A and B are shown apart, each in its own frame.
Chain A
Amino acid sequence: MECVFGLVGKDFAIVVADSSAVHSILVHKTNEDKIMLLDSHKLMGASGETGDRAQFTEYIQKNVALYQFRNGIPLTTAATANFTRGELATALRKNPYMVNIILAGYDKEGPSLYFVDYIASLHKLDKAAFGYGSYFALSMMDRHYHRDMTVEEAVNLVDKVIMEIRSRLVVAPPNFVIKIVDKDGAREYAWRESIKDAPVIAS
């Protein structure tokens, strides 16, 4: 039921993820942040097994930081994507990580988006999606996406996708987080919440 998708715009890339943390029939929380900031100009949205997701993305983040300290310059997005894929591939036949990843970054090549799935496929794409929501996300993006979208156009498309997921997917995740990366860096853009975690009632 988890859903992560992303797209590349004119000088930026956007990654969107649902924010529900679910265990069997229980929703632990509805504001789980599944998009990790790898460094100042990279975003990694991940879906899949909760433990693997946290562990693997943190591992990649620390290795990206180590590279920067060792070499004085940050990894390119392409290099990060290939490193990530390599780690997944190495673990695959012994102890696979059940994580699907959408990596977005901004470097001297401009904005870019990479699709890395749990069996270590790697694709550089303009738009990508994971999860049951991908059926709706990909259809909406195929219909409305065009190259060099502005931030407003892209966010409009993102909102259209979220509306489709909410209305058409049974057990749809209620809340989403949107993060953006451009020349000024990677940052949280907005939340789309239809359910807020209830505050504790004082007795």
Chain B
Amino acid sequence: MARYDRAITVFSPDGHLFQVEYALEAVRKGNAAVGVRGTDTIVLAVEKKSTPKLQDSRSVRKIVNLDNHIALACAGLKADARVLINRARIECQSHKLTVEDPVTVEYITRYIAGLQQKYTQSGAWKANATGRNSNSIREFLEKNYKETCGQETVKLAMRALLEVVESGGKNLEVAVMTKDHGLRQLEEAEIDAIVAEIEAEKAAAEAAKKAPPKET
């Protein structure tokens, strides 16, 4: 079997393209990433592996701008991501130059998928997750998704990610995109504050579950 995994263009006898499967495995091992769409806000949240104390945490960005109105969060090999992001950024400007209109999310997704030669990309998600434990996150979102706006969307995205990530602002990177303000990365302090709110809400919900039996 090992002889059939040297090149991406080689099929194994039972029809596998091993390189593609290894790449998918790399994504599965990557940091958890979540995206949630609200009525007026879109939130991307990514798990952040602990950065060394001496490293400027702001220099390691997992959520990037492709254009004024499009952001991207990724899981997997960051070096590969950088190459794709660069090509996507060029395509965003090139598209604006030739047709005078900014790219649609669908267009640039198709473009990136084309670069990756992967035609399994799908669009129009209300919420989705990729990377480590993405199945658990997706289950949580399926159970708890509802149309939200503004800060509620942020809380929903973070609550989803906190299902699989150790709690704390140090381990999360969150970016919020709105029509008026474009893409905004949240500061660590802001993230901590929202995490505290979420924990408080969770505690209140737990307490409420235990309280009713006392009423007569």
Contact = CB atoms under 8 A, between A and B. Distances in A.
Interface of A: 58-59, 62-63, 65-66, 69-70
B97 A66 contact: no
Contacts of A59: 97
A69 B67 contact: yes
Contacts of A69: 65-67, 89, 92
Interface centre among B67, B96, B97 (most CB of A within 10 A): B97
Given A69-B65, A69-B66, A69-B67, A58 B89 contact: no
Interface in B81-101: 86, 89-90, 92-94, 96-97
A62 B96 CA distance: 8
Contacts of B92: 69
14 contacts: A58-B97, A59-B97, A62-B93, A62-B94, A62-B96, A62-B97, A65-B93, A66-B89, A66-B90, A69-B65, A69-B89, A69-B92, A70-B86, A70-B89
Contacts of A58: 97
Contacts of A70: 86, 89
Given A69-B65, A69-B66, A63 B93 contact: yes
A62 B100 CA distance: 11
Nearest 7 Cβ contacts at the A-B interface: A62-B93, A66-B93, A62-B97, A69-B89, A69-B65, A65-B93, A58-B97
A49 to B, nearest CB: 18
A59 B92 CA distance: 13
A68 B92 CA distance: 13
A65 B65 CA distance: 12
Contacts, number: 18
Nearest to A69: B89
Interface centre among A62, A63, A69, A70 (most CB of B within 10 A): A69
A55 to B, nearest CB: 9
A69 B86 CA distance: 9
Contacts of A66: 89-90, 93
Nearest to B67: A69
Interface string B44-78: 00000000000000000000011100000000000
Contacts of A63: 93
A66 B65 CA distance: 11
A69 B96 CA distance: 14
B194 to A, nearest CB: 24
A177 to B, nearest CB: 20
A65 B67 CA distance: 9
A40 to B, nearest CB: 11
Given A63-B93, A69-B89, A69-B92, 15 more contacts: A58-B97, A59-B97, A62-B93, A62-B94, A62-B96, A62-B97, A65-B93, A66-B89, A66-B90, A66-B93, A69-B65, A69-B66, A69-B67, A70-B86, A70-B89
